[in-house]
Structure 1
Amino acid sequence: MHSNKPGEAAPGPGPDSHLREETLDSRELLRGNFLHAFTDTVRLPDGRQATREYIRHPGAVMIIAQLDDGKLVLERQFRYPVQSVMLEFPAGKLDAGEGSLACAQRELREETGYTARLWAKAGVLHPVISYSTEFIDIWFARDLTAGQRQLDAGEFLDVFTATPEQVLQWCQDGSVTDGKTLAGALWLQNVLSGAWTRDWKTGVGG
């Protein structure tokens, strides 16, 4: 019997058919430099119609980069929508046609100056499933080499290091509220404890 993962389309009537919505019409609301907004008309499982407003997002990556001394590479960056300086793991969106690993390598280098010899894919995060298609691929990076940052025009951020224990404490006390960084801390905690294992590879491919 076929078993579907969460979010995977069923091959016809199946155990999720009572939950799925059928798209009847889609209308573009906004095409900006970054975000692409739509409103869709859908048929609900009970046959009624409803509207769904959402944003199409190109996808992104987040990097949990660890130095030889065990400290982690983090950033402080002002996020305009919430009007706050946030503590975050390095991250950035995919360019058109760019592979996930290539994006992670580029973002780590551009934002922090570090390059990494070893990389391990952790998983994928869907941060705002109620109104966006955004996904974030989570990567671990080790065997780091320091270098020169290459920030984009108009990009301002501080790079600093902290121990895993400090990061977990900040998650606990509310100093870290960024969703992707909280998810990254969950991965970090389990990887460091040995509960979750990763397949480390040299940084080649996309």
Structure 2
Amino acid sequence: MSHEPPEFIQQRLFYRGRVLNFEVSKLRLPKGTVGEWECVRHPGGALAVPITDDGKLVLVKQYRFSVQGRLLEFPAGTLEPGEDAATTVKREIEEETGYRAHRWHDLGKFPLAPGYSDEYIYAFLAQDLEKLEQPPAQDADEDMEVVLMSFDEFEAAILSGEAIDGKTIASYFMARLHLNQS
């Protein structure tokens, strides 16, 4: 099996958006097959798994247009141009939950949906939380509420099929593994 990269024959930008772009690339694979592949280009995102001193997870229930409903998620946001993931996640946790974390651990990164997007999520564990008296305003296009859950309640929500996004579930288990090794 060849590990050579495919040859780019043609790349077309179909849509340039505020946050993401949509491209179609014509490629020749190392075995000679030629085809077209679509890709959503995204700058990446950062996510916090916030845990209060009494062991509660801090989540948000957020309306998501793409699924026409509310999803349970950890606070997260898109990386701004020139911004590192740690800066993004520190801003987002304050804006979305009204908490500031004083202890951070980098859990790593993972591709969100590599079948059609190049987006990576940078996950962080956020601890030693302080409830802010004057939290920053949420972005005008966000509709969310803060939800506190125990680990057991969150795992029950996963098993019951509650609407929880994939990056939240993946990051939760990354945090659990880290906490179990500490």
Q: Please say whether Structure 1 and Structure 2 have the same fold, judged by a TM-score greater than 0.5.
A: yes
- Give 1:149 deviation, angstroms: 4.0
1:101-127 deviation line (CA, Å, top 9, x unaligned)? 011100011111111111000011211
Instruction: Give the aligned partner of residue 156 of structure 2.
Output: 169
From 168, 178, 181, give the equivalent of 1:181. 168
Instruction: Give the aligned partner of residue 81 of structure 1.
Output: 66
Instruction: Please list every run of at least 4 consecutive aligned residues from structure 1 whose deviation after the TM superposition is greater than 6 angstroms.
Output: none
Q: CA RMSD in A?
A: 1.5
- Name stretches of at least 5 consecutive residues in structure 2 with no aligned partner: none
1:144-187 deviation line (CA, Å, top 9, x unaligned)? 11112420112210012111111111112211431101101211
Following the alignment from structure 1 to structure 2, what is the Cα–Cα distance between the partners of residues 170 and 191? 21
- Give 1:48 deviation, angstroms: 2.3
Work out whether residues 2 and 30 of structure 2, in 8 Å CA contact, stay in contact via their aligned partners in 1: no
Instruction: Give the aligned partner of residue 110 of structure 2.
Output: 125
Following the alignment from structure 2 to structure 1, what is the Cα–Cα distance between the partners of residues 2 and 33? 20
Q: Does 1:71 align with 2:56?
A: yes
- Give 1:192 deviation, angstroms: 3.1
- Give 1:45 deviation, angstroms: 2.2
From 134, 137, 140, give the equivalent of 1:153. 140
Q: Percent identity?
A: 34
What's the TM-score once normalised by structure 2's chain length? 0.93
What's the TM-score once normalised by structure 1's chain length? 0.83
Q: Does 1:98 align with 2:51?
A: no
Following the alignment from structure 1 to structure 2, what is the Cα–Cα distance between the partners of residues 35 and 128? 14
SS of the residue 2:115 aligns to: coil
Work out whether residues 70 and 163 of structure 2, in 8 Å CA contact, stay in contact via their aligned partners in 1: no
